[in-house]
């Protein structure tokens, strides 16, 4: 049970820190943190939680990561569903906390998307469904390759959280303009439920693409590194 609780709070922190930076701080008058700041916020949530709970649950914080690690032979099948449920619940509670905070400002409006992921007219840069699909699959694939490589027993000890956190930062720097960056179905769900409307209608993509990318990442690392080692 401690693993599931760790995944709940770890994912809670990821969504509150990452999406919270986008909703509350990205465009704050004159001192907004912008795209770079939001990218760093997501990376820092994973980095800090990797050190805080990595030794407890492995710090997945992401259904696509759990599935990718399972596909790579690093994770037990029996833990997969409880991990995913814990992650999604943590993301939803974070979305609720963020909503309570954000709605405390006069003029708050969910029309801005509430850091939800989208494509077409709901993509920050107006990118198509195909572009969003390819982006999410490839970015998640590379994220899993980074995770599997950084946590391989042959990798430098103690450096995995840094590599993984910086990897997620880079992924956001590349893909925020395309989809607002998901690579994490729990993160997408946690805010989409509160944004409603189009965010829920497009949520399917941000489950299918990251999961497909997670499995592909496991396959790619298997080709690069041989049999996965923990």
- Domains of the chain, residue spans: 2-225
**Half-sphere exposure (CA, 13 Å, Cβ side) for 89?**
12
Band the pLDDT of 5: cuts 50, 70, 90: very high
Average pLDDT, rounded, for the chain: 94
- Which architecture, in CATH terms, is 2-225? Up-down Bundle (1.20)
Does the pLDDT of residue 226 top 80, yes or no?
Answer: no
pTM summary value: 0.94
The confidence score (pLDDT) of residue 94 equals 98
Is the pLDDT assigned to residue 228 strictly greater than 60? no
Q: What is the mean pLDDT of residues 90-111?
A: 94
């Amino acid at each position: 049970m401690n693993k599931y609780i760790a995944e709940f709070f770890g994912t809670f922190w990821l969504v509150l820190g990452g999406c919270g930076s986008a909703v509350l701080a990205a465009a704050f008058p004159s001192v907004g943190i912008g795209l770079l700041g939001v990218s760093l916020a997501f990376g820092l949530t994973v980095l800090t939680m990797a050190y805080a709970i990595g030794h407890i649950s492995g710090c997945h914080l992401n259904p696509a990561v759990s599935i990718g690690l399972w596909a790579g032979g690093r994770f037990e099948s029996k833990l997969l569903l409880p991990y995913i449920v814990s992650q999604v619940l943590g993301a939803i509670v974070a979305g609720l906390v963020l909503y309570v905070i954000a709605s405390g400002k006069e003029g708050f409006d969910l029309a801005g998307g509430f850091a939800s992921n989208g494509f077409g007219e709901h993509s920050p840069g107006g990118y198509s469904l195909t572009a969003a699909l390819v982006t999410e699959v490839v970015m998640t694939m590379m994220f899993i390759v980074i995770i599997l490589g950084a946590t391989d027993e042959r990798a430098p000890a103690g450096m995995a959280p840094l590599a993984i956190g910086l990897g997620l930062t880079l992924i956001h720097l590349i893909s925020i303009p395309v989809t607002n960056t998901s690579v994490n179905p729990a993160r997408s769900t946690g805010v989409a439920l509160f944004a409603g409307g189009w965010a829920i209608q497009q949520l399917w993509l941000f489950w299918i693409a990251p999961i497909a990318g997670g499995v592909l990442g496991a396959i790619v690392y298997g080709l690069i590194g041989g049999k996965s080692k923990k």
